[in-house]
Amino acid sequence: MPEYLAGRKVCNLMQLDNKEWDDEILKDVCNDRDGNLKKKVPLLRRNEDDAWFWLLDDQGCFTVKSCYRALQGEIMAPHARFWRKVWNLKLPSKIVQFFWRVCSLCLPKAARLITKRVPIDMLCSWCRGDAETDMHVLFYCDIARNTWIEAGLRSVLQQVTGEDIFQVFYDLFQNCSSTQCTQIILICWSLWTRRNKWVWERVNMSSFGIKAAATNLLTEWRKAQAEKLCDVSHTRRPIVVSKWEKPQQNWVKINIDAALFEDIGYIGMGSIVRGTDVQFLLARSVRREGLVPPREVEALSLKEALSWLKDKDF
């Protein structure tokens, strides 16, 4: 650390009399990476005492459970967004679990069984033209390629390269909608099911049949879910729908909202104030540099709105 930084505090990196980062100072004392990271830390307008906060817990409290999960890679994992997208897909649990096994290299294909000293033929049981790996069964085999084309997903084959199955799905899902991700996983499940039927029962199935099996499974599962929801709805209490109400006499009501723009590293906060007769009084929108969890963005937006109202003498 340079001698001129000894004893300095974080506040020395901010503008005088203003809760904003000083770009010139950051350029002088930080490299580009560190400077950009500091700019992403949101700064509160009011003076608050610093406190310890455990980032891996919503309440900020350290727990052995959260620490263990972090060490196991369950929290803040580099591919957390990818898995969050997968878990949120409307699919039967057995298919989601199958997909997790695919990405974790747990499927018992021939190439893996041989590494476990299982005496088995390594060639693909369908085409007999190459080793039976994850990529071969799901993408490279002639039957698999015909199935993707039959399903109208030729573009998937054009994007698939290499032998890293997880990286293939990770790259595919970056630009795919939830519907497309669902279709991709279903085709993979149907291909693996078809492979098992051939290996163990010698039951053959065309590419159209593989695609139809995936579509039919999803249709039947959605129908079952709808019927289950309908049955439950008859036994539930009526859902109370909350709606906006005007404030009482001599009161004002403020509504807030917040948004997180991860791509550009900003958070947005908006507030609108209305009076007893629903007349518009004030509005405000603020943009801050920083990346914080959505729940904290909402809390920060509420705190900023209350501070703003206080400054307006409400």
pLDDT digits (tens, 9 = 90+) for 281-309: 889 888 887 777 777 888 888 888 888 88
Which pLDDT band holds residue 17 (cuts at 50, 70, 90)?
Answer: confident
Same domain, 88 and 155: yes
Same domain, 97 and 218: yes
pLDDT score of 232: 54
Same domain, 19 and 145: no
Kindly state whether residue 62 falls inside one of the protein's structural domains. Answer: no
Same domain, 296 and 149: no
Distance in angstroms (rounded) separating the CA atoms of residues 123 and 120: 9
Distance in angstroms (rounded) separating the CA atoms of residues 213 and 197: 13
Could you tell me the residue range of the domain that residue 199 belongs to?
A: 80-235
Is the Cβ–Cβ distance between 180 and 186 less than 8 Å?
no
Same domain, 93 and 162: yes
pLDDT digits (tens, 9 = 90+) for 125-164: 888 889 999 999 999 999 999 999 988 899 998 989 888 9
Considering the chain, what is the average pLDDT of its residues? 83
User: What torsion do the CA atoms of 46, 47, 51, 57 make, to the nearest 10 degrees?
Assistant: 10
pTM: 0.54
Same domain, 92 and 129: yes
Same domain, 117 and 173: yes
Kindly state whether residue 52 falls inside one of the protein's structural domains. Answer: no
Kindly state whether residue 8 falls inside one of the protein's structural domains. Answer: yes
Same domain, 231 and 270: no
Kindly state whether residue 107 falls inside one of the protein's structural domains. Answer: yes
pLDDT digits (tens, 9 = 90+) for 256-273: 888 877 777 788 889 999
Number of domains in the chain: 3
Same domain, 32 and 88: no
pLDDT score of 214: 87
Same domain, 113 and 217: yes
Same domain, 203 and 111: yes
**Cβ-based burial of 311 (10 A; exposed 0-12, middle 13-18, buried ≥19):** exposed
Cα separation values, 203 from 138, 194, 209, Å: 18, 8, 12
Kindly state whether residue 203 falls inside one of the protein's structural domains. Answer: yes
Kindly state whether residue 71 falls inside one of the protein's structural domains. Answer: no
